[in-house]
Amino acid sequence: MRRLPPVLVEDGCSRELVSLIRTILAACKEISFRVGQGALSGVLGSTLDENIQGETQKKLDVLSNQLLKDILLESGYVKAIASEEEDTTVAGNPDAKYIVAFDPLDGSSNIDINSLVGTIFSIMEVDKESDPADPTIFLQSGRKQVAAGYVLYGPSTMLALSTGKGTRIFTLDKTHGSFLLTHDYAKIPADTNEFAINASNQRFWTAPMQQYIEDLLAGKTGPRGKNFNMRWIAAMVGDVHRVLCRGGLFTYPEDTKDPNKPYKLRLLYEANPMAMLIEQAGGLAHTGQENILDIQPTEIHQRVAVILGSKNEVEACLGYHQ
């Protein structure tokens, strides 16, 4: 099986980009080990603090963020980083040309029940003359990403990665610490009978989404004329991985539960990297109003609605919104 670095070289990635991706994965291997140790490593449970999102931080949230932050800033490959767990961006090497946005541990509510969690990351380029302390250097559309990926910590540790030439899936060989290519060029089926949504929020959804899900649940006797299965892992990284492997639709739509936060998922380090992976695998990623990758960000923790997955099913969902 082919190892990660040679595959990136084949894709024409620069030496710096290859080294940066390997740096991110070095931190992810350590996170994988800590997650795998569970209660034995003393990192389960919550802290007494909240992050900038107003969410109670898990101990592993803090640990994962610090691991990624330290290794990236010490590497010299990044001009600045942006993280779900940081109030604002953090400056790095002023001479570097890459910036990295990441969710250090997506699905952290799953930590204490030994369910799926993962790390999501997005890499973009900036001018070498730009100010590393200026958060606005991150305000680029998802089309500007030079690489995006996630590392899923499950029964095996897996990497989904795109550098703009398709989406590939790698598996961590823990005997010697290398990510080996196990799924070359993932291809999402255009049609599906699976969907993932947090149904507990049904009463807060907008009318188009309520009608769409109602029609799915009506099965063969409804307007769609076929039965659908619902899957929900409560970690975007897990639900998107299933979509990449066998198709499906994942959505976290707009809702009215908190008028100040109509959207759940963050654009820069959740929606954008996942949208790139999905599109590069032949799927579609949308908000209901526009393509996710075309959004011009206005702030680093901006939130958006997300509808992504099998192309024909996403378009069917969008039909209810138009």
Annotated binding site for substrate: 106-109, 198, 264
Binding annotation: 84, 103, 105-109, 198, 264, 270
- Which residues, 6+ apart, have CB-to-CB distance to 127 below 8 Å? 97
Query: What amino acid is encoded at 228 in this protein?
Result: F
Query: What amino acid is encoded at 197 in this protein?
Result: I
Q: Do β-strands 157-162 and 284-286 pair in parallel, antiparallel, or remain unpaired?
A: unpaired
Mapping DSSP to helix (H, G, I), strand (E, B) and coil, where does residue 258 land? coil
Alpha-carbon distance of 151 to 243, in angstroms, equals 15
What residue spans of the chain are helical by DSSP H? 4-10, 15-37, 59-75, 207-217, 236-246, 272-280, 311-321
Alpha-carbon distance of 235 to 102, in angstroms, equals 15
Binding annotation for Mg(2+): 84, 103, 105-106, 270
Q: What is the CA radius of gyration of the chain?
A: 19
Q: Residue with structure tokens 């990758």?
A: 293
